[in-house]
Structure 1
């Protein structure tokens, strides 16, 4: 995508008025830029690590504790935290971490 240097709107491909050549045209101002050669650019974004997105080990500092049974060791105490990982109209996701065995999950606790 290219943007207009004057009004920052997204440029579209259209015809230049005085020639039969194609041009990048701004839909809101008179800016035009003739296309003289093919332009291809790719930007590969670096994906974040899952720990970066979910907060890593620091996310478990100062969390609350609840009574819930661990699916791995049957211990009845676990830490929990909630994150909004979907869109705003979806409920928050609750993550649990067993106090005894440090087993982490969002679904295996019953």
Structure 2
């Protein structure tokens, strides 16, 4: 919970007064004693993250190649090539293990 100065709109800071804590403004002379516990919890709403590789649908009609999975040593993997950098850079190859129990993904 943020409290703002009612006179100038600046964010109030907590400072220690003579016998108590108080809110004070760094810009103007406004001061307000804190007489009760001030607490508030707000969790930010997270944005949905899009799968940049197209999700599960991107792997439906892809070819396989002889590439060894670094996780389970399966000798075949699905692959997709995508341009992830500028046009003068080579394409990035994304692999997915053919072993349905593994499904490990990696890139080259």
TM-score, normalised via structure 2 length: 0.51
1:29-44 alignment runs, 5 A limit: none
SS in 1 for 2:57: helix
Which residue pairs with 1:106 in the alignment? 107
SS in 1 for 2:56: helix
SS in 2 for 1:54: coil
1:1-110 alignment runs, 5 A limit: 49-51=49-51, 53-100=52-99, 101-107=102-108
Q: Tell me, which stretches of 5 or more residues in structure 1 are unaligned?
A: 1-46
Q: Please report how far the alpha carbon of residue 49 of structure 1 lies from its aligned counterpart in structure 2 after TM superposition.
A: 2.5
Query: Which has more radius of gyration?
Result: 2
Aligned CA-pair RMSD: 1.6
Aligned residue-pair number:
60
Q: Please report how far the alpha carbon of residue 61 of structure 1 lies from its aligned counterpart in structure 2 after TM superposition.
A: 1.0
Evaluate the alpha carbon distance shift between residue 82 and residue 72 of structure 1 in structure 2; reply closer, same or farther with a 3 A threshold: same
Evaluate the alpha carbon distance shift between residue 50 and residue 90 of structure 1 in structure 2; reply closer, same or farther with a 3 A threshold: farther
Aligned-partner Cα distance in 1 for 2:48–2:93: 21
Runs of 4+ deviating beyond 6 Å: none
Alpha-carbon deviations, 1:47-68, whole Å to 9, x = none?
A: 87240x2211111010010011
Going by fraction, where is helix more abundant, 1 or 2? 1
Alpha-carbon deviations, 1:34-86, whole Å to 9, x = none?
A: xxxxxxxxxxxxx87240x2211111010010011110001101000000010
Aligned-partner Cα distance in 1 for 2:49–2:82: 16
Which residue pairs with 2:34 in the alignment? none
